Structure 1
């Protein structure tokens, strides 16, 4: 009797094991946030940052970089650089991690201003980097020629750079680079409103460079007088 009981118990245990549901080692992946949600999150993080991203706390900076990486994976525009219609326009810089602080990040000496990129890939094949400081009224302009490197990368070759006070008085001589300086703009995300790119020196192949978050601002276009 004892032997029969043991056999029955063993069979029941085997049957129970056979009908157990499998244990999944990993929980199902959370659904990806849509680009619209990610852009809202990005805008919120930028609002928490100092102007232009200057001296952004490390934790916020890392969150911005992470959101931009997620946006890159969902970039709605194939071959962004070759889409001249979407690329062209007047863009305002919302945030950058460029360091050290310089005109590229909106800082000219002790003054901080707004940075714009005026991109024309339709007719002139040129780009202008513009820094505008309201007080004192200083405006700086870097003019560059453009060349498509690949589907996402634009080569920016410097031509001239100059600064003026009040659009009239030169702040030092205008510099002619004669094509000696080139930067690469690698685009990670492009839609009708946002342009996210990494900028680096042409020779710095081991790094993607500094991140720039640009927002379309065609209604803010102005002439620099430089």
Structure 2
């Protein structure tokens, strides 16, 4: 699939990371900021109680979390930050998966086991890595992206690798055109809400809630 004309993020990295914590000047906006703070706390509390990154939760629970995440996205829009462009500097660094609605390998689920999932974003070089850590095993995916618009990335998978005790045992490229889309939701210094689709396989979006690695 060809990339849609991208928007450069070079120069955006220098934007201050506190761009999303501005206070609205009108009473309605202030109420929405307060609502976002409350929804964020509620979402994190629910996600922390899920098991195995969310992979064993019921559809009812997943739908409830998705609704809460969508409401958080909506409340956050009052701050008028475009997460894929002028707010993109906040995603730089390492994040761990708190919850996901999917059970594909991005969730850390490998057969009957579920590993710890980390995502490292190198904004300057426009690269990211998804890592699943399962004891001495590490499964690694490297990818890049193009910015489609203020809220969306077109993601292109590059390589996948399996390591054991820190030693690479298998590494191979993805077939040309492998990838998907990221729709950026609520984003701040500590939390990211991310909606993803892999093309052409996925008909619906998967939800990911990530927290910054400390």
> Does TM, normalized by the shorter one, top 0.5?
yes
Number of residue pairs matched?
180
Partner of 1:116 in structure 2? 118
- TM-score by length of structure 1 reads 0.73
Partner of 1:140 in structure 2? 139
Residues 125-164 of structure 1: pairs in structure 2 closer than 5 A: 125-134=126-135, 137-164=136-163
Contact 1:77 1:189 (C-alpha < 8 Å) held by counterparts? no
Is it true that 1:49 corresponds to 2:46 in the alignment? no
Contact 2:48 2:98 (C-alpha < 8 Å) held by counterparts? no
Q: Closer, same or farther in 2 for the Cα pair 1:56/1:79, shift >3 Å?
A: same
Q: Which runs of 5+ in 1 are unaligned?
A: 1-30, 220-226
- TM-score by length of structure 2 reads 0.77
Partner of 1:78 in structure 2? 81
Contact 1:127 1:156 (C-alpha < 8 Å) held by counterparts? no
Partner of 1:17 in structure 2? none
Contact 1:119 1:128 (C-alpha < 8 Å) held by counterparts? yes
**Whole-Å Cα distance in 1 between the matches of residues 207 and 89 of structure 2?**
22
Encode CA deviations 1:139-183: one digit per residue, 9 max, x unaligned.
Answer: 11100111111111111111100111111151xx31112543021
Q: Which has the larger radius of gyration?
A: 1
Residues 1-226 of structure 1: pairs in structure 2 closer than 5 A: 34-75=35-76, 76=79, 78-82=81-85, 83-98=87-102, 101-121=103-123, 123-134=124-135, 137-168=136-167, 170=169, 173-177=170-174, 179-203=176-200, 207=204, 209-217=205-213, 219=214
Deviation at 1:57, TM superposition (A): 2.2
Contact 2:161 2:168 (C-alpha < 8 Å) held by counterparts? no
Question: What is the root-mean-square deviation in Å for CA atoms of aligned residues?
Answer: 2.0
